[in-house]
Amino acid sequence: MITLQPINEFKKLDGKVYWGRLTIEGADHDSFEGLNEIWARDKHRIYTYERPLRGADRDSFIVLNKIYAKDKNKVYFLSGSIQDANPAAFRALDAGWFVSSSNLETCQGYGADDANVFHYVLTIGKPRLIKGADLPTFRVLQYGYAMDKARVYDEGVRLPKADPASFRQLGYHYSTDGTRVYYGNTILEGADPGTFQVSPDDQCHGFDKNQKYDRHKVVPKLPEPTAGDGGSSAVAVPFKSRRWFGFLR
């Protein structure tokens, strides 16, 4: 289990209030409290990081998860509000973060109101409205994936032709519906679903009985040694780590 510590957090010191090393000007020291690493409040207002959240209703404001919050008037994400969302019905569908394949915290997640489903990635602008999502059957999977009765999604983007009835994740990035193999929302053309495996050392590499893959691209095979070379007839794997691959014919 990886224990994650926030890069910055709210604290009170010597009569002042801080987010990380930044002083929160005008904050009331005695009533100030952090709600998570992103939002805080005092008796006067709500704060996002070190800045007052303009227009937020202090008394009705609640944090929903790592990336979503709301009050009686608006739904908020880390750097703004979602104009199309209904705050009365909006809810977070997950924790708003997970540990990535690189063992880093990635802030992203799904939310929904009574009409729409949204997905937000911290590093990509604002929340995406997922057009066509079936709200009654929509459910969140792991690592940014989700599905409804008709579609499968990766970070809010539909996987082309994916069958949700047979869909399964193979790791952080690779998945299959038994007919196709995907890296994210990209089909691996020609990949064999029956033999496809993910590298236990690197979630961005995979292989099947015919090919090796670096993310969604086929890794070119090295030339077979010719007779008289005195070497093995096996094909060496051109990956940084060969411990798991060995030699694959």
Given this model, what pLDDT does residue 221 score?
A: 80
Terminal Cα distance for the chain, rounded: 37
Q: For residue range 48-68, list pLDDT tens digits in order.
A: 999 999 999 999 999 999 999
Residue that is last in its domain, among 20, 37, 58: 58
Given this model, what pLDDT does residue 227 score?
A: 62
Containing domain of residue 187, as a range? 159-249
CA-closest candidate to residue 45, choices 23, 71, 65: 71
Q: For residue range 182-210, list pLDDT tens digits in order.
A: 999 999 999 999 999 999 889 999 999 99
Angle at 158 between CA 214 and CA 179, to 5 degrees: 60
Cβ contact 175:188 at 8 Å: no
Given this model, what pLDDT does residue 112 score?
A: 98
Judgement on whether residues 133 and 74 belong to the same structural domain of the protein: yes
Judgement on whether residues 99 and 51 belong to the same structural domain of the protein: no
Judgement on whether residues 106 and 150 belong to the same structural domain of the protein: yes
Mean pLDDT score, 228-241: 46
CA-closest candidate to residue 210, choices 181, 185, 231: 181
Given this model, what pLDDT does residue 228 score?
A: 58
Judgement on whether residues 16 and 51 belong to the same structural domain of the protein: yes
Kindly tell me the burial class for residue 117, based on how many C-beta atoms sit within 10 Å of its own C-beta (0-12, 13-18, 19 or more): buried
Given this model, what pLDDT does residue 101 score?
A: 87
Quote the number of domains for the chain.
Answer: 3
Judgement on whether residues 150 and 163 belong to the same structural domain of the protein: no
Judgement on whether residues 145 and 97 belong to the same structural domain of the protein: yes
Judgement on whether residues 223 and 179 belong to the same structural domain of the protein: yes
Judgement on whether residues 166 and 248 belong to the same structural domain of the protein: yes
Element (H, E) at 183: strand 181-183
Given this model, what pLDDT does residue 223 score?
A: 73
Q: For residue range 136-153, list pLDDT tens digits in order.
A: 999 999 999 999 999 999
Given this model, what pLDDT does residue 121 score?
A: 93
Sign of CA dihedral 26, 32, 36, 37: positive
What is residue 133's DSSP assignment? -
Judgement on whether residues 139 and 168 belong to the same structural domain of the protein: no
| pLDDT reading at 125 higher than 90 | no
Mean pLDDT score, 114-140: 94
Q: For residue range 6-51, list pLDDT tens digits in order.
A: 457 999 999 999 999 999 999 999 999 999 999 999 999 999 999 9
| pLDDT reading at 237 higher than 60 | no
Cβ-based neighbours of 8, under 8 Å, separated by 6 or more = 19, 20, 21, 22, 37, 49
